[in-house]
Structure 1
Amino acid sequence: MVDANSGYSGYGDLYLGHPLQETFGPFPEAVEGSPGTPAPAPQTPPWSPGASAASITAGLLRSQFDEWQKTFMPIELNAMNQISFNNPEILTKAVDEARDMATGSFKSLRGTLDRQNASMGITPTEQQKAVSKRLMNLNEASSIAGAENYARGAVRERDQQILLGTAPNPNIAKV
């Protein structure tokens, strides 16, 4: 360890858990098991005295990969399972929800228009009912198509955010 008065105070004060790392500054070592501290480093280094540089490098890379597998791989797998091409039900569910919402709002609109006409004593003719129904069906079909396309775009954007690591979704595991 470097002494706190050695002139390095305040530089590189993070403790990463590596057995050869030195901490600089008046900050104590991380307490094992406290929140936010990394897992304890392996006690036996992946190299031995007199080993070649290649074997030391290979051992370090192996230990780094093992640490990555234990620490970050579960988080990445969780995020990858929330992407639509790994889980096609996500896209199907989003499109179905969009279709149901658009259909439900047009059902409400039809009921509202019928009640409004009845309250004012208006009785449309059969031809007026047919024209109104046709226009309502055209509007509903275009609304459903737009809602489904928007849902597909939203799922695609969410997939991109997950892949980039910028997703604000609280369901994605955090480190």
Structure 2
Amino acid sequence: MQFYLPFCLKKKKNNKDLNQSIKVFLKITPAFIFLLFPFYSLLLNLWLGDEFNQNILNLAKIFSLCGIFASTSHILVTKFEASQTLKRNLKFEFILMPFFLFTLYIFISTNYSLIYIASIILIKESILLFLRLNFLKKEIKNISHYYLYSIFFIVMLYMSFKNEFFFYFLEIALLISLIKNDK
């Protein structure tokens, strides 16, 4: 992303790089990460040995999606910086942050599971991503696809916890969708 800002500044009118970056971070990368989900327990077990447990596996899955959403948000923030409209973004971050921190405080002080706390972080990242995408809707091609894909990824994450068969079904549907859309 360090290289993206200079490109944005040089090409203020051209959003091809922005659209390509968003496509990679909200379509291709999540598909790859979800393909790795079945191997997470094996990889984490090899890495952590006896310290591995189901909570660590679940946290790794949640934070994988958080990382994808946060990375995409950072690309969008870079676009705000390049177009000198960062104030719009900051207003919503300042509005959202007290609610997030209050909720986080409640969950931590009442000894909720780390899974719930990670889920709150995922919700915050999802909200910020959706707001940032909405701010740049005139500059992003096929923005409705990104909303749908993001919701789809959240459903896939949930299904990876609740129903393995349905998760695999959604993974196949995702791959077919990506192959079909690239043509």
TM-score by length of structure 1 reads 0.30
Name the structure, 1 or 2, with higher relative contact order (CA <8 Å, separation 6+). Answer: 2
Computing the radius of gyration from Cα coordinates, the structure with the larger value is 1
